[in-house]
Amino acid sequence: MRTLFSLAAAALLTLPASAQIRFEPQPVEAGAEASSFPVQGQPVRVTLDQPTDFVRVVWRPNSAIPDTVTLDSEGSSFLWTPTRAGVATVLTSNGEQNVSVRYSSFPGSGILVLVLAGCILFGGAGFAMGKLLSDDEAPALPLDT
């Protein structure tokens, strides 16, 4: 009897604490391979363990300016097309699940920031090296200043 109780308690502890939400990216074109992760602008099949009253997506969760979108969920499986990239939390009446949505292409603003930071960093280093190695005489300052 005690062993049976221990097995039942262990089985209850291994069950998930919240509802399971699965994300399965769908192929964009017929015959195309689906990606292994959600991508911005591409459909994703969301599968819930059980039907729910509501499904909400919160972009930038736990920030001062979260953005909440309500999805139309009919049944326990539906299609969702993420409109932006980033971390999102999918909330249902039964639980929640974080998901990372990737950019559909490489963002050009990232390259721009990288080039700008490199110019500032190496430009300052080049200017300092030029001043250090120049033949200009140091200004004659009085020693008491």
Q: Over the stretch 80-123, which tens digit does the pLDDT of each residue have?
A: 899 888 899 998 888 888 999 998 888 788 889 999 999 999 99
Tell me which H or E stretch contains 129: helix 108-133
E strands within 8-76?
A: 21-25, 44-48, 55-59, 67-71
Q: pLDDT-based confidence at 9, cuts 50/70/90?
A: low
Reply yes or no on domain 16-101 having CATH 2.60.40: yes
Domain boundaries, the chain: 16-101, 105-133
Distance, CA of 74 to CA of 97 (rounded, Å): 18
Q: What is the pLDDT of residues 28-71, one digit of tens each?
A: 777 777 778 898 888 898 888 888 888 889 988 888 888 888 88
pLDDT at 12: 53
DSSP letter at 61 equals: T
> Whole-model pTM above 0.75?
no
